[in-house]
Amino acid sequence: MRGNEAQPVGNDPEVKPRISGVLFRGILMGLAELVPGVSGGTMAFISGIYYRLIAALASFGVGSIALLRHPRVFWQHHQLSFLLALGVGMGIGIAAFARLIGYMMEHAQPVLWAFFAGVIIVSVYQIGSARHTKNLLAFGGLGLMLGLGFLSLPAQNLSGSLIALYFAGMVAVCAWILPGISGSFVLLLLGLYADVIAAVNVFDLTFLLVLGAGCASGLLLFTRGLSWLLAHYEDPLLALLTGFMATALIKLWPWQQSALSSDGGWQNPSAPLLWPSQYAAEVGADFVWIAFAAAVIGGAGVWLLSKFSPR
């Protein structure tokens, strides 16, 4: 990559969605990131804006400082209309659905998990079916093993430290930008997920600014390397992430021990998986048919989104 120019990444689509379409995709990405196990990067990928997003983020660097003398060139070079619309959409999605996600997790958890399980199943099929068989077997298998290892990581508790929050934002945003790795799950493992949801709901400005600074730093450090990997090793990388993404289905099995503890805190969702009858006996209503319908709706939504997205 020469200078500060963002090179095309992978199969960057020639037809670009309108700003309203980008805003809608941002809302979906924000909604996805509220749920541990679903990646905003996955939503970007299946909706046809992933390569453009990586290219736009990777365009920032030392050379951006010189471009500040020419605001219009700076704006166009970094695709700020696109990034701004996407960021606003994500903000709307997070603000609008944070309370709903919390309510669903407390009162109708199987329905929420089932919806996103449907999203992941169709996403894994669509991304995986486009990969070469050799890469899918080798790198997809490696992704499965890495994903299972990731799920087995013990949860930590970094709550209460703004420094820890900053670095957690750096790590979580790297997960956010990769299809199949959930930034919310990273925050959950670090013991910060409940704090983030609470900060969004009460608009804790200090907390959100520190988290945002960590995310911005992580993006600047990570996306240029990711851009290079996609340009040179796109198929193996996406095969690896397909396998990793498939392990999210363990976290998204609809009937499992509640992710909410008795004191209202969030637990690691790698809790014991249950049959619907066991869930009904031990936890509460199993919502079997509603959960099945939610999974179908989630999968169908992904299929429609990818079908009508520019490629």
Query: Does residue 9 fall inside a structural domain?
Result: no
Domain that holds residue 83: 19-307
How many of the other CB atoms lie within 10 Å of CB of 82? 19
pLDDT of residue 159: 65
- pTM of this prediction? 0.72
Nearest to 255 by CA among 119, 73, 112: 112
Residue 27 resides in a domain: yes
12 lies in some domain: no
- Tell me whether residue 14 is in a domain: no
pLDDT of 211 > 90? The answer is no
Those residues with Cβ within 8 angstroms of residue 287's Cβ, 6 or more apart along the chain or in another chain: 108, 110, 111, 114, 254
What is the average pLDDT across 46-62? Answer: 83
Pair of tokens at residue 29: 């990405």
| Digit-coded pLDDT (tens) for 75-106 | 888 888 899 999 899 889 888 887 787 788 77
Domain count of the fold of the chain: 1
Provide the pLDDT for residue 292.
93
pLDDT confidence tier of residue 264, bands split at 50, 70 and 90:
very low
The structure tokens 């407390």 sit at 106
> Torsions phi, psi of 37, nearest 5?
120, -15
Residue indicated by tokens 């290219």: 55
Residue-wise pLDDT tens digits, 217-234? 888 888 888 888 888 888
pLDDT score of 148: 82
Cite the DSSP H helix spans in the chain: 19-33, 40-46, 50-58, 63-67, 71-77, 80-107, 109-129, 133-151, 162-177, 183-189, 193-202, 205-246, 248-251, 276-282, 288-307
CA distance 232 to 114: 36
